[in-house]
Amino acid sequence: MQLKVEKLTHIYSEGLPFESLAMTDVSFTMEQGEFAALIGHTGSGKSTLIQHINGLLKPTSGHVYLDGVDVNEKSPEARALRRRIGLVFQYPEYQLFEETVLKDVCFGPKNLGLSEEEAEEVSREALALVGITGEKLERSPFNLSGGEKRRVAIAGVLAMDPELLILDEPTAGLDPRGHAEILDAVRRIREKKNMSIIMVSHNMDDVASLADRVLVLEDGRLIMDGSPREIFARGEELRAIGLEIPSAKDFMEKLAKMPALKEKGLEIDDGAITIDEAQEEILKLFGSKA
């Protein structure tokens, strides 16, 4: 599914004394299968943008098109397309309500009109994709660990078989293990399904290792749009608006600036944005002589 956001502007409380511009003239297009990370600090408009994509918020001006159809049209076609958007909110585990994990995940597919058996089948598949299997399916979702609950909640959206999955800070508040489990789940979803993914994140290391495109929002405007390498090469600009850059990139820049390297005539490529790339680059440079 192609997502096209065109000149999207949103004003909160329009006409009232406390009206505020939440989104100004945002345009971009995303093709099927792309993985975009949406970054920007709190209040930059990330939540406002993603709520427009499935029609939870209506633009003050501008349009959001899915496969060429305006999502805010009242047609059955637009309604059907909106259902192809899977939106996972922040702390999604707070939406769990059923007696068992499996029943909870079945809620979405059943709302789509699937029969009990069909719903269970797609739910089991979705749960397997996020790494929840076996006896856990019959447990109460409230008795799982934080990371597991979160994955069940993600499965609840995956089971609706969206073409575009939107994840709003999927790792917020988790411990390192829960964090790693979510990233693994996102990678598996990526491999097994040809889904487009938009991930809102504050963690630049995650963005660098997962996304193939980065959108940067600041004050409701889309100020950068490019590959992670391109975006993180603009470290100064990112820091200026209070954003971080991946630890690997930060380190490589520091290393490249060391005078001692120049004296030895060593030239290092500081473009690495993940720890794997940094490791490779450093070993290439120093390892061969060891």
Partner 1 sequence: MESIISVKDLRFAYEDEEGELQTVLDGVSLEIEKGSFVAMVGPNGSGKSTLAKNLNALLLPQSGKVYADGMDTSDDSLLWEIRRSVGMVFQNPDNQLVSAVVEDDIAFGPENIGVPPEEIRQRVDSALEAVGMSRFAKQAPHMLSGGQKQRIAIAGVLAMQPDVMVFDEPTAMLDPRGRGEIMAIIEQLHDAGKTVILITHFMEEAARADRIIVLKDGKIAADGTPREIYSMSEQLHGMKLELPFAVELARRLRAGGLDLPADILSEEELAEALCSLK
Partner 2 sequence: MAIKDITLGQYYPAESPVHRLDPRTKIVGTVVYMVSLFCVNSFSAFALSILLLGTVIAVSKVPLRFIAKGLKPVLILIILTMLINLFLTPGELLLSLGPLKVTEEGIYRAAFMALRLVLLIFGSSMLTLTTKPIQLTDGMEALMKPFEKIGLPAHELAMMMTIALRFIPTLMDETDKIMKAQTARGADFESGNFKEKAKALVPLLVPLFVSAFRIAGDLAMAMEARCYRGGEGRTRMNPMRYSGRDGAAALILALYLAVIIFSRTLGLF
Chain residues binding partner 2 by CB under 8 A are 51, 54, 56, 83, 85-87, 89, 92, 94-97, 107-108, 111-112, 142, 156-157, 160
Angle at 218 between CA 1 and CA 63, to 5 degrees: 35
Q: Which is nearer to partner 2, 102 or 204 (CB)?
A: 102
**Structure letter (DSSP) for residue 144:** S
Q: Is 41 in the site for partner 1 (CB under 8 A)?
A: yes
**In the complex, least distance from residue 106 CB atom to partner 1, rounded to whole angstroms:** 24
List C-alpha distances in Å: 99 to 102, 109, 123: 9, 17, 15
- Among partner 1, partner 2, none, the one that 135 touches (CB under a kind-dependent 5 to 8 A) is none
- Among partner 1, partner 2, none, the one that 83 touches (CB under a kind-dependent 5 to 8 A) is partner 2
Sequence-ordered list of residues with C-beta below 8 angstroms from that of 214, at least 6 positions apart, any chain: 36, 37, 39, 207, 224, 225, 226, 227, 228, 231, 232
The size of the chain, in residues, is 290
Interatomic CA distance for residues 1 and 188, integer angstroms: 20
Q: Is 290 in the site for partner 1 (CB under 8 A)?
A: yes
**In the complex, least distance from residue 195 CB atom to partner 1, rounded to whole angstroms:** 26
20, 29, 111, 143: residue in contact with partner 1 (rule CB under 8 A): 143
Q: Which is nearer to partner 2, 40 or 92 (CB)?
A: 92
Span 222-261, contacts to partner 1 by CB under 8 A: 242, 244, 247-248, 250-251, 254-255, 258, 260-261
Q: Which is nearer to partner 2, 29 or 111 (CB)?
A: 111
Residue type (1 letter), 156:
G
Burial of 5 (0-12, 13-18, 19+ CB in 10 A): buried
Query: β-strand 35-39 against 213-218: which pairing, if any?
Result: parallel
**In the complex, least distance from residue 285 CB atom to partner 1, rounded to whole angstroms:** 9
Question: In the sheet where 3-12 sits, what is the strand order?
Answer: 20-30, 3-12, 61-66, 69-70
Residue type (1 letter), 148:
E
- Among partner 1, partner 2, none, the one that 173 touches (CB under a kind-dependent 5 to 8 A) is partner 1
Q: Is 7 in the site for partner 1 (CB under 8 A)?
A: no
Q: Which is nearer to partner 1, 79 or 177 (CB)?
A: 177
176, 192, 193, 230: residue in contact with partner 1 (rule CB under 8 A): 176
Q: Is 136 in the site for partner 1 (CB under 8 A)?
A: no
Q: Which is nearer to partner 2, 124 or 149 (CB)?
A: 149
CB 151 within 8 A of CB 104: no
Span 186-225, contacts to partner 1 by CB under 8 A: 202
